[in-house]
Structure 1
Amino acid sequence: MCEHHGPTSESDRAGRPGRRALVRGAGGMVLAGGVLAVGAEGAAAATSQNGWPAGSSSSVPLTRLTVGAATFPAGVRSGQVATVLGYVVRRYDREVERLVSGWCWGHAYRPIRGASTLSNHSSGTAIDCNAPRHPLGKAGTFSAAQRSRIHAILADCDGVVRWGGDYSGRKDEMHFEIDVRPGDARLAALVKRIGGGGGGSTPPATTWSTVRQGSTGFRVTAVQHLLRHRGARLTADGIFGAGTKAAVVAFQRGKGLAADGVVGARTWAALVVTVQQGSRGQAVVAAQKALTARGHRLAADGIFGAGTRSAALAYQRSASLTADGVVGQRTWARLTL
């Protein structure tokens, strides 16, 4: 699989202190010609570089990951890991570059290239994005603007995710991995913040974006119109400045939420308004502008008529949502992700 494009390295971190190396079990594990030969007991004992239990696709709980045009072969580790990596890759597809079918990779049981330590792919805790475009060992495959967007995504992951482009040694710019051990409180906190619930065995149905002071764009515009619908007095200019933060804080206090001025999963869920044919007002304007940003041309007139319903239906079908023409929580979440 991934060896076709060389996307399998966590770079020079194989000897990084605190990382558990390959464990040899009674079943045995040898490297012969670069191929892992693993007995059942050896597979059970093995962990990947980041400390997660590793094994074949029959021993690691995996879930399908499909974003845009790309499906990640074999998937990624179910539960909290799938929630976080799904969040990262959806933002990558939207904010950095479009994913290409056949160019992305997920779980694969093998060592890091040039080392004996198991790759984080072996535990389903790593993904490679557009591998041929960002080959192992090559730096500078992204523009400065793209790197900035990648770092913004990582910043929103609170240290839970690491990018191979930030390795101090050999670069691996296609590669993103979970950088905390199982049970780390930061992982559960991030899942909760981005809307993943308590970390069950399947990824959440609803994941929200995060916008805060300094953010710009149509998501901010949607927040501003939704706040206006709730009675706030502010200009919907797509710039999250001090005035928008103050309005968010006031809304959060009114809803009994943590008043940090950051629009994350809980604030989005409380802020959005279900709109459908016949609805009017600022919440409809927010939906119309979000749909326009997703490629559906609409007049942002605040009237949810047949044209807006048609656009909502088309978007829902493209996003694999229930196509009912109603912009409710799930449609809002996908529109603003």
Structure 2
Amino acid sequence: MCEHHEEVARPSVARRTLIRGAGGLLLGGGLVTASATAASAATSQNGWPAGYSSQIPLSRLVVGPADFPAGVRTGQVHTILGYVARRMHNEVEALVDGWCWGHAYRPISGSTTLSNHSSGTAIDINAPRHPLGAAGTFSSTQVSRIRSILSYCDGVVRWGGDYSTRKDEMHFEINVRPGDARLTTLVNKINGGSSYETNETWTTVRRGASGFRVTAIQHLLRARGYSLTVDGSFGSITESKVISFQRSRGLVADGIVGPKTWGALVITCQQGSTGQAVVAIQKLLTYRGYSLTADGSFGSITKSKVVAFQQSRRLYPDGIVGRVTWSRLTV
């Protein structure tokens, strides 16, 4: 987990060791009381009431495979941070279970000010990939998509990658105080203005199957470096390649393409992409009634067909074939 925010307009404080104990938080040589009364009266950096998980309203947050331990603050905060996490999962990078974090009662590293995690108003996403203090952990394309998410949130959400001092690119937080009218406006926008489907729906495919899904699997295996003929028939050779791929990803090597194998196998594609994964997308679109040439080049025509397909399925119409769009193309 990040440590958890840039420090803003406060005296320099040397980094101290944090020790959790039954009596409180020990910072360096001093004890900061952590009784129920003190915790419930405290506020995090952004002005929200902070406390232990038993003292503030929290709800579980699950996005894709990722369960955010302790959850996040119930109500408007949960709606907003859940929206951010879902779009990060669908548009930026797949969330990894065990790498994402929510509420934690603790101060900011090097400070006595409580982190926004302490009020359940912050989340960390894929922390090991985006460690505290590191910059440039997302590609330029990913940053562009993060900017789109932040823009949609109209200043209500702040990203740790925008900190002026120590970067914290895993981190997203509520950037307004309780009762700010922008919270209600954004929640209404999320609930009423963007009713996009965000859940993945995969069809399990195994030996003996044939047809468009098998064709897509074979093209994706070729895209992953496995040599085989694309014939739309799931025979022993295709099964053996699936097993090899599963072993390479630490999955159950049963030769069955279920949700976890699909999720690992698909490749996010967008305008400018080329190769076997694009061929698979083009063939799937044609099968779905959006006819185009399967030339392996993701140009403007392919993008327009993707957008049309996404709109028909109430998916976010960005023309990018991520996990959710892949799942709908192959369902």
Q: TM-score range by the shorter chain?
A: 0.5 to 0.7
Aligned pair in 2 of structure 1 residues 15, 196: CA closer, same or farther (>3 Å)? farther
Aligned to 1:186, the other structure's residue is in SS state helix
In angstroms, what is the RMSD of aligned CA positions? 3.8
TM-score (normalised: structure 2): 0.57
Letter of the 1:165 partner, please give it. Answer: G
Residues 12 and 167 in structure 1, CA contact (< 8 A), matched pair in contact too: no
Matched letter for residue 101 of structure 1:
D
Shift of 1:171: 0.4
- The yes-or-no answer on 1:119 pairing with 2:115 is yes
Contact 1:29 1:42 in 2 (8 A): no
Give the aligned residue type for 2:75.
G
Aligned mate of 1:287, from 291, 298, 313: 313
Please report how far the alpha carbon of residue 283 of structure 1 lies from its aligned counterpart in structure 2 after TM superposition: 9.7
- 8 A Cα contact 1:139 1:171, kept in partner: yes
- Corresponding residue of 1:12: 7
Aligned counterpart for 1:158 among listed residues 149, 154, 161: 154
Q: Using the TM superposition, give the Cα deviation of residue 133 of structure 1 relative to its aligned residue in structure 2, in angstroms.
A: 0.7
Aligned residue for 2:313, secondary structure, equals helix
Aligned to 2:133: 137
Which residue is equivalent to 1:182?
178
1:294 partner letter: W
Q: Indicate how the Cα distance of structure 1 residues 70 and 35 shifts in structure 2: closer, same or farther if over 3 A, else same.
A: farther
The aligned counterpart of 1:101 is 97
Structure 1 residue 295: deviation in Å?
2.6
**Structure 1 segments unaligned to the other structure (5+ residues):** 17-27, 198-205, 211-215, 226-235, 245-281, 299-310, 312-337
Report if the CA contact (8 A) 1:110-1:122 is conserved.
yes
Distance 1:207 1:125, change over 3 A: farther
- Contact 2:196–2:314 (CA<8 Å) still a contact in 1? no
CA 1:145–1:51 in structure 2 vs 1: closer, same or farther (change >3 Å)? same
8 Å CA contact 1:160–1:187 kept in 2: the answer is yes
Q: Distance in 1 between matches of 2:311 and 2:118?
A: 46
C-alpha separation in 1, matches of 2:310 and 2:7 = 51
| 1:173–1:36 CA distance, 2 compared to 1 (3 A) | farther
Q: Does 1:169 align with 2:201?
A: no
Work out whether 1:149 is the aligned partner of 2:145. Answer: yes
- Counterpart amino acid of residue 145 in structure 1: T
Query: Partners in 1 of 2:324 and 2:170 — Cα distance?
Result: 30
**Structure 2 CA distance, aligned partners of 1:15 and 1:288?**
46
Match of 2:206 in 1: none
CA distance in 2, matches of 1:83, 1:101: 20
Structure 1 runs (4+) deviating above 2 angstroms are 12-16, 28-37, 206-210, 236-240, 282-285, 287-298
Determine if contact 2:36/2:55 at 8 Å carries over to the other structure: no
> Residue 230 of structure 1 corresponds to which residue in structure 2?
none
Distance 2:25 2:310 in 1: 61
**CA separation of 1:35 and 1:148: change in aligned 2, threshold 3 A:** farther
The residue that corresponds to 2:49 in the other structure is: 53
Report deviation, 1:99: 0.6
Q: How many residues align?
A: 216
Residue type of the alignment partner of 1:174: M
Aligned to 2:38: 42
Structure showing greater Rg: 2
Aligned to 2:203: none
Aligned to 1:71: 67
Structure 2 vs 1, CA of residues 285 and 39 (structure 1 numbering), >3 Å: closer, same or farther?
closer
1:213-233 deviation line (CA, Å, top 9, x unaligned): xxx999xx9xxx9xxxxxxxx
How far apart are 1:85 and its partner, in Å? 0.2
- Would the alpha carbon gap of residues 14 and 72 (structure 1) be closer, same or farther in structure 2, given more than 3 Å must change? farther
Deviation string 1:298-325 (CA, Å, 9 cap, x unpaired) is 6xxxxxxxxxxxx3xxxxxxxxxxxxxx
* Secondary structure, counterpart of 1:73 in structure 2: strand
Q: 5+ residue gaps in structure 2?
A: 12-22, 199-269, 272-280, 290-300, 317-322
